[in-house]
Amino acid sequence: MRLGTLLLAWSLAAFAGVQAGDGSYPAPSNVRGAEYPKIHPDLRVTFRLKAPGAQKIQVVPQNGGLGKSPYQMTRGEDGVWTVTTPPVRPGFHYYHLLIDGVPVNDPGSETFFGWAKQTSGLEVPSQELDFYEAKPAPHGEVRIRYYHARTTGTLRRAYVYTPPDYDANPKARYPVLYLQHGSGESERAWTAQGRANFILDNLIAAGKARPMILVMENGYATQSNAPPSSAGRGAEGFPELVIRDLIPAIDSAYRTLADREHRAIAGLSMGAGQALAIGLANLDKFACIGGFSGGLREFNPKTAFGGVFAEPAGFNQRVKLLWLGSGVEDRFYAPGKAAHQALVKAGIRNVWFESPGEHEWQAWRRHLADFAPRLFR
Amino acid sequence: MRLGTLLLAWSLAAFAGVQAGDGSYPAPSNVRGAEYPKIHPDLRVTFRLKAPGAQKIQVVPQNGGLGKSPYQMTRGEDGVWTVTTPPVRPGFHYYHLLIDGVPVNDPGSETFFGWAKQTSGLEVPSQELDFYEAKPAPHGEVRIRYYHARTTGTLRRAYVYTPPDYDANPKARYPVLYLQHGSGESERAWTAQGRANFILDNLIAAGKARPMILVMENGYATQSNAPPSSAGRGAEGFPELVIRDLIPAIDSAYRTLADREHRAIAGLSMGAGQALAIGLANLDKFACIGGFSGGLREFNPKTAFGGVFAEPAGFNQRVKLLWLGSGVEDRFYAPGKAAHQALVKAGIRNVWFESPGEHEWQAWRRHLADFAPRLFR
């Protein structure tokens, strides 16, 4: 049963899906036909690379449940390097290989845009959780939408999830959730790393979430009149871009319910800060706001976000949902929970959600699965 | 003028787009903020990588116009390696870095699925051609469509281009071109490497092509009852998948004109062989067929493709367009042209198209731009 679901999801990578005699199988994040990285039934992971000319190779986990320290690969006589980890945590984990000191991708892995480049990622299936797997439920589309933004003076690209019934109901209109990635990631992250489309497919099929549109844009946006910024920076134009360009482009291209009651914004880490800042500064545009693991350091409810929390009664009437959450091992857990408590004390209604895990995608998948069902009710 | 168009296209990579004092600029295929690879006004290209611990690094062109031989990078005192090539040809060129003998990606480049893995690619702008650039013309969407295929017993993914007016004309129906990638590539190739969506946007805006849907699927498909295949193989189930699963899924999900006169199939290299084989074996499904640089070796018009060319009069009446083409430096040029001539001699009406270049994406972009306007007239 679980295996059926897993194989269905695995097949997206279009690999042969051969299970070895010891029950190990290629990671679902591998490219087609790549046997390694290989996951064992006890969730140990074996990495393997042919590199006869290399002097030293390490597997470097970048965050999350793959481990805290680099794994030293061992050279075989045939120039093939291997290492097997202890059991790792389920979820999506960024990693790279360090070959003679140079950080590079694992050719066996698909690439995922994170850490401001295309890097390797490992999807480790869970024995307990499948809410983010591709199931036989009807699937929505993920649409790559190009639009011109005046704020940046450029053509930009949004990834837009439309729910399974969108094209079949040409008169229906839908609420919209704007959903932002974290630092160093891109508009591709919430579907490729986060599987937001499958999470919504499953919630909608189960009647747990209202059919909605997800809009995932790139949080990096430099105003056209701003000085050139260096690598990795350049998010300063994003708030203006959302209000001036993105929302009008989406409301023009899709059958949206184009009012504040049917528009939400959320994000993770850097995107949490952006979602809170943009949402709370534009309550005429958004009635629901979510912060996943971020945006709440040194939080003072009297002064935070332009003093928007100063009048609790008005705020509580206006804002249908203020959702805050974090993995319990996340470095943003303590400041997030403190902010939640300060808001409660200040009389501001808000939801606090704790998930297992640290600053990692498996937590943000859980956040979305808790957040989305609360929207637009 | 050209620069404006280019900068518009560049911005898709969301990089700062700083032009240096010498007129050089980051390749449009770079990740956001990456300064290298850098393109000079005379189309020399400078590659750069920080790798203090490496012993030897080469830039390896994988095919096309970036050059025939690896470029040796030179180590600076700061552990930064650089090399500048002679002027290269415009277009899209696969490449990788060889670090101490290990083939890896350039962290400055976006990744492109080719050679059965995610590899680096370099987009070199042309001074003469902009038919594949993002222009201010209205843009269609590229939709990621999931569907279940009985042939493989798996969930699969198609990339589907819908023309700019698709959602605005909810009663309109559209013809469909099934468009296949080459060996080692994937359903992502025609948009990421080929820019098929921008080519169609521009042709449609100029009134040169009829608005149409493009369907780009993965040519690798193993029948569910077939034995597991090894890496890179596994295309044997694709013809059955197209007829049994893909066409019905597309005709069910999109407003297509679901008859043979409004359905075409084409592909490049391995995909040319697939398109010719599938199209010519299913003339009840396809009236237009295109082979871009492939599928015609050891061609005998009497016996090829099940003898479909044996009765020219019937064939010429039935098939609205048989299009064959190749770059003049392509190894498939001679067999392709010979097949064309043999077909002419046999009385089979067909179009032969020669483009500059070899077995590379710049040629296939030109092929699509010649092929698409001839369809569905």
Whole-number average pLDDT of chain A: 93
- Which of A111, A148, A228 has its CB closest to that of B16? A228
What pLDDT is stored for residue A6 in this prediction? 40
Closest by Cα among B193, B196, B136, B137 to B161: B196
Task: Report the distance separating Cα B27 and Cα B10, nearest Å.
Answer: 8
Other CB atoms within 10 Å distance of the CB of residue A335: 17
Residue linked to tokens 């018009």 = B301
| Of B41-50, B72-81, B225-234, minimum mean pLDDT range | B225-234
Residues of A in contact with B186 (CB under 8 A): 14, 32
Report the percentage of chain B scoring pLDDT > 70: 93
Check whether B227 has a pLDDT greater than 80. no
What pLDDT is stored for residue B84 in this prediction? 98
**Which domains are present in chain A?**
2-124 (2.60.40.10), 141-374 (3.40.50.1820)
Average pLDDT in the A348-355 region?
98
Whole-number average pLDDT of chain B: 93
- Which of B53, B113, B142 has its CB closest to that of A100? B53
Give B112 to chain A, closest Cα distance, Å. 9
Burial A41-54 (b: 16+ CB within 10 A, else e): eebebbbbbebeeb
Nearest CA in chain A to B111: A118
Check whether B232 has a pLDDT greater than 60. no
- Which of A139, A143, A232 has its CB closest to that of B33? A232
Check whether B10 has a pLDDT greater than 80. no
CB contact under 8 A, B111 and A111: yes
Q: Is B240 exposed, middle or buried (0-12, 13-18, 19+ CB in 10 A)?
A: middle
| CB of A261 closer than 8 Å to CB of A320 | yes
CB contact under 8 A, A51 and B254: no
Residue of A5, A6, A8, A11 for testing the chain B interface, max B β-carbons within 10 Å: A11
Closest by Cα among A19, A122, A229 to B18: A229
Q: Which residues contact B357 (CB under 8 A, 6 or more apart)?
A: B64, B65, B89, B91, B327, B328, B329, B330, B363, B366
Q: What is the pLDDT of residues A254-267, one digit of tens each?
A: 999 999 999 999 99
Closest by Cα among A90, A86, A85, A88 to A128: A90
- Which of A8, A16, A113 has its CB closest to that of B234? A16
Q: What is the pLDDT of residues A61-119, one digit of tens each?
A: 997 789 999 999 999 999 999 999 999 999 999 999 999 999 999 999 999 999 999 99
Average pLDDT in the A23-35 region?
96
Give A5 to chain B, closest Cα distance, Å. 10
Check whether A226 has a pLDDT greater than 70. no
Closest by Cα among B54, B59, B55 to B95: B59
- Which of B105, B116, B145 has its CB closest to that of A31? B116
CB contact under 8 A, B99 and A99: yes
What pLDDT is stored for residue A250 in this prediction? 98
CA B251 to chain centre: 23
Residue type, B260: R
Nearest CA in chain A to B253: A167
Check whether A209 has a pLDDT greater than 80. yes
| Residues paired with residue A84 on neighbouring β-strands, in sequence order | A46
Task: Report the distance separating Cα A279 and Cα A265, nearest Å.
Answer: 6
Average pLDDT in the A141-167 region?
97
Q: Is the ipTM of this complex over 0.90?
A: yes
Residue type, A89: R
Average pLDDT in the A117-125 region?
97
Residues of B in contact with A113 (CB under 8 A): 31
Q: Please state whether beta strands A263-268 and A288-292 pair in parallel, antiparallel, or not at all (unpaired).
A: parallel
CB contact under 8 A, B234 and A118: no
Give A259 to chain B, closest Cα distance, Å. 21
Q: Which tokens sit at B148? A: 């279940």
Q: Is A153 exposed, middle or buried (0-12, 13-18, 19+ CB in 10 A)?
A: middle
When pLDDT is cut at 50, 70 and 90, the band that residue B283 belongs to is: very high
Residue of B47, B94, B105 for testing the chain A interface, max A β-carbons within 10 Å: B105
Give A305 to chain B, closest Cα distance, Å. 28
CB contact under 8 A, B31 and A113: yes
- Which of A9, A108, A116 has its CB closest to that of B33? A116
| CB of B239 closer than 8 Å to CB of B281 | yes
Using the Cα atoms of residue B330, residue B331, residue B336 and residue B342 in order, give the sign of their dihedral. positive
- Which of A9, A97, A218 has its CB closest to that of B14? A218
CB contact under 8 A, A33 and B154: no
CB contact under 8 A, B51 and A101: yes
What pLDDT is stored for residue A232 in this prediction? 43
CB contact under 8 A, A136 and B148: yes
Nearest CA in chain A to B160: A143
User: Number of A:B CB contacts under 8 A?
Assistant: 186
Q: What is the pLDDT of residues A188-206, one digit of tens each?
A: 999 999 999 999 999 999 9
Q: What is the pLDDT of residues B331-373, one digit of tens each?
A: 999 999 999 999 999 999 999 999 999 999 999 999 999 999 9
Other CB atoms within 10 Å distance of the CB of residue B76: 12
Residue of A117, A157, A191 for testing the chain B interface, max B β-carbons within 10 Å: A117
CA B296 to chain centre: 19
Check whether B20 has a pLDDT greater than 60. yes
Residues of B in contact with A49 (CB under 8 A): 102
What pLDDT is stored for residue A63 in this prediction? 78
When pLDDT is cut at 50, 70 and 90, the band that residue B4 belongs to is: very low
Check whether A311 has a pLDDT greater than 60. yes
- Which of B33, B54, B55 has its CB closest to that of A231? B33
Residues of A in contact with B191 (CB under 8 A): 144
Average pLDDT in the B293-297 region?
94
What pLDDT is stored for residue A2 in this prediction? 41
Residues of B in contact with A254 (CB under 8 A): 167
Model's pTM, two decimal places?
0.94
Average pLDDT in the B204-215 region?
98
